[in-house]
Amino acid sequence: MAFRRCREACTDQERNSGKALALVAGYLAALIVQVDLAQWPALTVKPDLVWSLSAVVWTICSLAFLAAGLGVRWVEARVAGLVALIVAGTFAAWVYEPGMLPRDRLLFANPRFGSSLLVVVTMFTYAIALRRWRDACVSAEHGLVDALGVVAGFLTLGMLHVDVSQWLGLRGEEVLARSLVTALWAMGAASFFAAGLRLRRFAFRYVALGALLVAAILGVRVYACRMPPGEWLYLNKRFAADLLVIAVAFAHGFLVRRKREICSDDEQKLSLFLYGAGISALWLLLSIETFFHFFWTVPEPQKARWTAQMALSIVWSVYAVALLILGFWQQARPLRYTALALFGLTVAKVALVDLTRVEQIYRIISYFVLGLLMIGASYLYHRLEKRLTAGEKP
């Protein structure tokens, strides 16, 4: 402070020394408080609380550096604040090590979640402050705004994921835990995309695809668990979670094409891929859910396989009809071709699989339903195809 107060009487070297002393003093203050907390007898038996409080201490140090850096337009202080924030994030991540959460802790209402949330809020605060006072910041700091927002968003999803997984895992709710984290990442992808549209930031929109990919991987993982007995077909938590992921993919593609003035041409092309991926994923989800529901719920193994195969043929037929209707409604020839291909696949499956493994009564039912659907689809196709001589979508 003396060097700054009497800066006109000091040399440049002394003024720089004053800045360095201020930064060192801030770090030493945070370190002293952290060590004192770690050595406090009441906390030595609670390692999770020690790490959480350490994260809080360094987060407060980061905020102090940020305030000083903006108040006196001092870029070194703002950089020092980012370093302190990285230290705080390291302590917050350390406490999420498996086994660090005691069984008696409440979900979200625990020290480690609170300290991690403070770190994330501080990251968002940094991003907002650098955007709000961009005139006081150097050009290198302008590029940090999006990066801080992205990192803060992923850290939020990560700590929610771990907290939910570990808390429910300790209680034997593995299927519920996997379903919730899948839905969590899907909602995170939707939030990133909404922010990207709202703020007109392409980085957030592309990052949303990364979060959606994580959600899709977790959605596949949730089906590695066998469902508890008593769950209904399609009306269960894991199906709902995966359906949410697919819905977000469709919404992403729809909004990209709707907001053409905001989204780039590459995003427009990517939306077509999302539509195709969503259609394929929905077909795969319905197939897996249907097959394994009957495979595990029917008591007799041989009958279970017969029933599952029959149900799968019906689902494929209905899905093909739905695609055909959608293709006519949207005047999209690729959808109609996909529906016809799925019809062909269903017929081949019935002929090569169902006829050899399904009992006679189920075989008759399967053929009857499939025949009705194909007759209806053929009628619709030939009747409506003639009307679509123009205005076809590619």
The tens digit of pLDDT for each residue in 266-324 reads 898 899 999 999 999 999 999 999 999 999 888 888 888 888 988 998 999 899 989 98
Q: How much of the chain, in percent, has pLDDT values that exceed 90?
A: 47
Most confident of 115-129, 290-304, 379-393: 115-129
Burial 307-340 (b: 16+ CB within 10 A, else e): bbbbbbbbbbbebbbebbbebbeeebebbbebbb
Quick one: CA torsion of 240, 241, 247, 252, rounded to 10 degrees? Answer: 170
Please give the pLDDT value at position 370.
67
Q: Quick check: 385 pLDDT over 60?
A: yes
Quick one: CA torsion of 103, 107, 111, 115, rounded to 10 degrees? Answer: 140
**pLDDT tens track for 242-269:** 999 999 999 999 999 899 888 888 898 8
Give burial (CB, 10 Å; 0-12/13-18/19+) of 256: buried
**pLDDT tens track for 27-42:** 999 999 999 888 886 6
Mean pLDDT of all residues in 33-55? 81
Whose CA is closest to 52, among 82, 81, 106, 93?
A: 93
Q: Quick check: 111 pLDDT over 70?
A: yes
Q: Quick check: 392 pLDDT over 80?
A: no
Per-residue tokens: 210 = 């990364």
Whose CA is closest to 111, among 85, 82, 91, 81?
A: 91
Q: Quick check: 16 pLDDT over 70?
A: no
User: In Å, what is the CA distance from 370 to each residue of 348, 350, 355, 382?
Assistant: 12, 9, 13, 18
The residue among 375 and 280 whose pLDDT is bigger is: 280
Whose CA is closest to 385, among 318, 324, 344?
A: 324
Whose CA is closest to 289, among 224, 363, 233?
A: 233
Give burial (CB, 10 Å; 0-12/13-18/19+) of 41: exposed
CB 306 within 8 A of CB 358: yes
* pLDDT tier for residue 389 given thresholds of 50, 70 and 90: low
Mean pLDDT of all residues in 77-94? 93
* pLDDT tier for residue 8 given thresholds of 50, 70 and 90: low
Q: Quick check: 13 pLDDT over 50?
A: yes
Please give the pLDDT value at position 375.
80
Per-residue tokens: 181 = 């984290």
The whole-chain average pLDDT of the chain stands at 86
Please give the pLDDT value at position 18.
65
Structure pTM?
Answer: 0.85
* pLDDT tier for residue 116 given thresholds of 50, 70 and 90: very high
Domain layout of the chain by residue ranges: 1-163, 173-297, 313-389
393 backbone dihedrals φ, ψ, rounded to 5°? -90, 145
